[in-house]
Each structure stands twice: as C-alpha cells, then as structure tokens.
C-alpha cells in the first residue's frame, strides 16, 4: 500500500481569499487549450484568427464552468442543493460534472458561432484535441482534494484517503488523469492534422472519452446517495453510454462535410 500524500488543497491565502490547487488546475487547463489551439492555427497559416480563438475559448469556457457546476447540481444532487441553495456557488468545495461541462461548452460555443457566422464544428475540432490536458489536470486536482477516490482494493498501490475511511482504495483519480488525460490527448493530438470532415474529431473525442471513462468507473467509488442502474451501472457510466452513442451518430452525420472557420453564404 502507498501512503496518500496529504497536500494542502490551499496553495496560499491572502485574508479571506484562497488560491487552491483545484482552481489552478482549471486555469492551467484553459491556458493549455489556448496555446495549443494557437499552435494549430499557426500550423495552418491562420494567425489572423487568434482574436477569434480568444473569443470562442472565452465563451466556451464560461459555458463549461457554468454547465459543469449545474450538471453536478441537477444531475447528481438536486435534493441537497434545493435545501442548501448557497452551496451551488461554493465551487471551491469541488463538485463539477464533466458531462454538464461538455453540454455547457457546446451550447455556449454553438450560440457564439451562430451569431458570428463561424463553423461550430471546425472550431470544435480545433479545440477538442486540447481538452484532455484540462481533464487530466482536473483529476489531479480531485486527487489533491482527496475526493472522487476509488473502490476498496488490495492492490499494492492502494491508498487510504482521509474521506474514504480506513479502507485501502484505488487511486482512481490518477487512473482518470492517465486515461482521460494523457492517453486521450496523445491519440487526439496525433490526428489533429488529418483532413477529416468537420465535427469528426469531436465525435472521436466523445466516443473515446465515453469508453475510457466507462471502464475506469468500475474502479471508482460510486457517488454517495446516487442510485445505480441495474444494480451496477453508475450515473457517470450512463452518461458515457449516451456520449458514445451520440458520438457515433455525429460521426455518421458529419461524414464528408468539410468546412472552414467561417460559414459560407
């Protein structure tokens, strides 16, 4: 068994304001997406689109944060937050749903693209290959917070998490950081220059993320108070199945449709 490294979730505090590792991971994820997207535009000789990228990323980021929090509130614990509405704004306590964040980012990005005559799927493909960096960093933030830990196990690398009782558990946050973060990034980044139809890289992300997350959920402790479907399938796995199905449909619908950064006509 490995000792759990007790890292203070707060990096430093100035009066009532605290800088936390969890928030820093979100910031680093956005910065990584920004600079990697700029790199892709430079590869394509499209430096003139840097200002557009900044606007797309800003509004997509707003949608992601709002959607991630609302997804956690509405999809997982609506009863608790109905009784404690002020806790909805306490994002520093953790509690961000990836699936809600994806929905929020897609909705905000689509609305912005529609208003400015941009190709939503072209920009989605550009940005989605950078997303796993933020996912991996976010899981490291969960690990530091000691949350979203794994199920009990006797593997040699098991850890005892402060909030998980005296039982050794899978460090499932690290599994997710590796699978949804590093591995998924390497796959998507390797195909970033493929001249595929617009939207198919987004579809590939949805399918691969759904499959990876579905598998790793077997090692992660189910969310407290959230019922299991069929007695074994977690809420996260249900959403992952939907992601895989929707990703497959998107791939089929978008096949052969190539677009530039702006809509024609």
- In this structure, what token pair is assigned to residue 213? 């997350």
169 forms bridges with which residues in the sheet?
152, 159
Q: How far is residue 205's CA from residue 121's CA, in Å, rounded to a whole number?
A: 13
Q: How far is residue 88's CA from residue 81's CA, in Å, rounded to a whole number?
A: 6
- Neighbour tally for 149: CB within 10 Å: 26
Sign for the CA dihedral angle at 31, 36, 40, 42 comes to positive
What is the separation of C-alpha 133 from the centre of its chain, rounded to a whole number of angstroms? 9
69 is in an annotated binding site: no
Q: How far is residue 221's CA from residue 200's CA, in Å, rounded to a whole number?
A: 32
| Residues placed in the known binding site | 139
């Amino acid at each position: 068994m490995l000792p759990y490294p007790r890292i203070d979730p707060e990096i430093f505090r100035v009066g009532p304001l605290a800088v936390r590792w969890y928030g820093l991971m979100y910031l680093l994820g956005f910065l990584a997406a920004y600079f990697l997207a700029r790199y892709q535009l430079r590869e394509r000789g499209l430096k003139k689109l840097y200002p557009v990228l900044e606007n797309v990323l800003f509004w997509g980021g707003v949608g992601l944060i709002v959607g991630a929090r609302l997804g956690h509130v509405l999809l997982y614990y609506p009863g608790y937050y109905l009784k404690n509405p002020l806790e909805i704004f306490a994002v520093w306590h953790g509690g961000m749903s990836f699936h809600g964040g994806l929905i929020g980012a897609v909705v905000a990005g689509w609305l912005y693209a529609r208003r400015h005559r941009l190709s939503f799927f072209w920009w989605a493909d550009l940005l989605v290959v950078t997303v796993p960096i933020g996912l991996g960093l976010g899981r490291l933030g969960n690990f530091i917070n000691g949350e979203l830990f794994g199920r009990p196990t006797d593997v040699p690398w098991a850890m005892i998490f402060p909030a998980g009782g005296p039982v050794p558990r899978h460090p499932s946050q690290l599994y997710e950081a590796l699978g949804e973060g590093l591995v998924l990034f390497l796959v998507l980044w390797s195909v970033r220059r493929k001249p595929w139809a617009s939207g198919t890289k987004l579809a590939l992300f949805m399918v691969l993320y759904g499959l990876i997350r579905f598998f790793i959920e077997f090692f992660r402790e189910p969310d407290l108070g959230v019922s299991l479907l069929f007695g074994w399938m977690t809420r996260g796995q249900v959403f992952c199945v939907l992601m895989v199905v929707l990703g497959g449909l998107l791939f089929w619908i978008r096949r052969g449709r190539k677009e530039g950064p702006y809509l024609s006509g």
